[in-house]
Amino acid sequence: MGIETKDKFDFSSGYSEVNGLKMYYEIHGQGKPFVLIHGGGSTIQSNFDKVIPLFAKNRMVIAVELQAHGRTNDRNADTTFEQDADDVAVLLQNLKIYKADFLGFSNGGTTTLQIAIRHPKMVNKIVLGSALSKRNGVPEWFWDFMKQAKLENMPEQLKEAYQQVANDINGLQIMHDRDAKRMVNFQDIPDELIKSIKVPALIIIGDKDIITPEHAIEMHRQIDNSELAIIPGGHGEYIGEITTIKPDFNERQLIVPMIEKFLNKSDY
């Protein structure tokens, strides 16, 4: 094939039968597989719209939508990070992708931890964006907020992003309630499981993130082959998450070059 122009990449999308779901995915670009896993209440676009074109210049980006999110249906069962991890693993097998790099943001970062724990042979490197592994990794007010979570308090940008792509008009409430219940019932990932992760990891948070710096540092110390970056800004601002976009946004503010440098390292 000829050389791609900078603003045009191979693109495909579809649904795959995954553990009772019709799971939506998109593939952008060519090269080494790089899987993007969104956070709670989000879609591919609301989390990754700004970074996908940049990553797709150099690699094959596989972006997914998890149970009850975006274009993927609900399976009439509570969501768990373990189940999400298993769903992603089956999707990749269906796509005949047997080893990949992963970037998970927020809840997607916790899912990425579970992929590294439960499916280590599928994982080359992981990027953990604002990932939570313990309840003490966020301020105490967060848990009170989640107990009282209501759909009307969900950021309008996330509601609109869902409604733009969803197949089920009633799905927004389901997605909200699944995510809220999962967080209310969140259990610490045991230390020995975190320490069992041997693949190279890049841990990223914002300095004004929901995730505390202390939590990111603890995870960095528990994962042997890990690097840690604390970036100025809020929850997901470093990847251009939709609720953080400011009028003067410029793609140079994104940390794509840092992630690319990490992914391109041949060894530790």
pLDDT tens digit sequence for 15-55: 999 999 999 999 999 999 999 999 999 999 999 999 999 99
Per cent of the chain over pLDDT 90 is 94
Give residue limits of the domains in the chain: 11-262
* pLDDT value of residue 9: 66
* Cα end-to-end span (Å), the chain: 33
The mean pLDDT value for 167-196 works out to 95
* pLDDT value of residue 168: 85
Please check the confidence at residue 141 and state whether its pLDDT lies above 60: yes
201 phi and psi, to 5 degrees? -130, 140
DSSP E strands: which ranges in 106-238? 123-129, 201-206, 226-231
List the single range of 3-12, 89-98, 108-117 with lowest mean pLDDT: 3-12
pLDDT tens digit sequence for 183-224: 999 999 999 999 999 999 999 999 999 999 999 999 999 999
Please check the confidence at residue 177 and state whether its pLDDT lies above 60: yes
b/e code 12-39 from CB counts within 10 Å (16+ = b):
eeebbebeebebbbbbbbeeebbbbbbb
Please check the confidence at residue 3 and state whether its pLDDT lies above 90: no
The mean pLDDT value for 134-138 works out to 98
Please check the confidence at residue 79 and state whether its pLDDT lies above 90: yes
* pLDDT value of residue 266: 83
- As a three-state string, the secondary structure of 64-78 is ECCCCCCCCCCCCCC
The mean pLDDT value for 133-147 works out to 96
- Domain at 11-262: CATH code: 3.40.50.1820
Would you place residue 169 in the very low, low, confident or very high pLDDT band (cuts 50, 70, 90)?
confident
Longest Cα–Cα distance of the chain, Å, equals: 55
* pLDDT value of residue 268: 44
Burial class (CB in 10 A: 0-12, 13-18, 19+), 217: middle
Q: C-alpha angle 145/81/99, rounded to 5°? A: 140
* Average pLDDT value for the chain: 95
* pLDDT value of residue 167: 86
The mean pLDDT value for 105-132 works out to 98
